[in-house]
Structure 1
Amino acid sequence: MNVLKKHTLKFISIIVLVVVVGAIGWYQSAQADGSSTPGNIDDPIVTKSYVDQAVAKLVKAELDKKTGGKESGSATLEVVTLPWGSKLIVEDGAEIIVRSGKAVAYSSDKNGLSDLTDGLDIAPGKPLANNHLILAPRGGRGVEADPKQAKGLIVLVRGGYKVE
């Protein structure tokens, strides 16, 4: 009989051990499955406006990294009136549309502007057609009034520029 008691005691000990280990495992999984109350420190509730502001800050930070924190040119077309004898010098990638007057291309080197409407390259000193979209692929280029006329120009500009 002594052997029977020994096996029974062993069997009961194993069952108790399995039950205790199972209970501990169940308790830990219940704590880790996210059953915490929404809105507490472990599971905060945020509003859409908070998320929008946080995302906007991150996007601005990434854009500042890419552009070095500098503002690029204006995204809208700006009307510029050029008096006769002055030049409109634009920055890299600026766009120009001549609205009034006769204009010629200006460049400090032998390269000129791109007429995107007709798909042509315009050498310095050559006339620009009115109402055509002109691209300055590099800075230091622009337009000036045709020396054969006595009036200035009205142009639309998108991007950085200066009037000389």
Structure 2
Amino acid sequence: MKTKMKISMLTVALGVGVSMGVILTEPASGTGVSQPGTTDDPVVTKSYVDQQIQQALNGGGGASTNPTQPSTPSTSEQPSQGGADEVKNVALKPGKLLIADAGTEFIVRSGHAVIYTEVASGVADLTDGKDLLNGQAAPKNHLLSFPREGRGIQVKEGSQSNLIVMVRGGYTIK
């Protein structure tokens, strides 16, 4: 008798579990769930998303997906041109200084850079959350913030390669 009771309880429990699973997994009508690929829930490709991101980064007007070539200064001192939110790739030759205006941000993309300051305080490395002082190496792919003028970066002494730096804000090359 005990075996029949156990089998009956097991059958009832299994039936209730299956019924609840069917009820809970079936989409409720009228909840706004639509099939993927319809106009209510379109499927997009990676290339479309990449194109939209590129257009947003280019200010929404350009459809160009070609990367920007680094600019090479032709004079010994060249101030920046353009808006404060525009990001530029700047090539810096050995022996030159890239001096930031107040509030400018740099990201060193390639080459070996060191911090240049005329004062005792340094440059904020926002990625690591610390200050970098005069002569310290500027790490690649770190966001550097220049709170005041007269601070910047230069190619590490002895290095023969150029620096490629992404710059947002004003700057001068000396």
**2:127 aligned residue:** 117
Shift in CA distance, 72/81, structure 1 to aligned 2, threshold 3 Å: closer
Higher helix share: 1
Shift in CA distance, 72/154, structure 1 to aligned 2, threshold 3 Å: closer
Matched residue pairs, number? 94
- 2:171 and 2:83 map into 1 onto residues whose CA distance is 8
**1:154 aligned residue:** 164
Normalised by the length of structure 2, the TM-score is 0.52
Shift in CA distance, 85/132, structure 1 to aligned 2, threshold 3 Å: same
**2:101 aligned residue:** 91
Matched, 1:145 2:151: no
Shift of 1:107: 0.7
**1:136 aligned residue:** 146
Normalised by the length of structure 1, the TM-score is 0.55
- 1:92 and 1:73 map into 2 onto residues whose CA distance is 14
Give ranges in structure 2 of 5+ residues lacking alignment: 1-80
Instruction: State the secondary structure of the residue aligned to 1:143.
Output: strand
The share of aligned pairs that are identical, in percent, is 43
Q: Is the 8 A contact 1:106 1:142 kept in 2?
A: yes
Give the partner amino acid of 1:152: N
> Which runs of structure 2 are paired with 1:10-29 in the superposition (5 Å)?
none
Deviation track 1:3-56 (CA, whole Å, cap 9, x = no partner) reads: xxxxxxxxxxxxxxxxxxxxxxxxxxxxxxxxxxxxxxxxxxxxxxxxxxxxxx
* 2:110 maps to which of 84, 93, 100: 100
**1:78 aligned residue:** 88
Shift of 1:148: 2.8
After TM superposition, the runs of 4+ consecutive aligned structure 1 residues lying more than 4 A away are: none
Instruction: State the secondary structure of the residue aligned to 2:153.
Output: strand
Shift of 1:73: 5.0
Q: Is the 8 A contact 1:100 1:130 kept in 2?
A: yes
Instruction: State the secondary structure of the residue aligned to 1:135.
Output: strand
Shift of 1:115: 0.3
Larger radius of gyration between Structure 1 and Structure 2: 1
Give the partner amino acid of 2:145: L
**1:47 aligned residue:** none
Shift in CA distance, 163/121, structure 1 to aligned 2, threshold 3 Å: same
Q: Is the 8 A contact 1:112 1:122 kept in 2?
A: yes
- 1:115 and 1:139 map into 2 onto residues whose CA distance is 16
* 1:127 maps to which of 116, 137, 146: 137
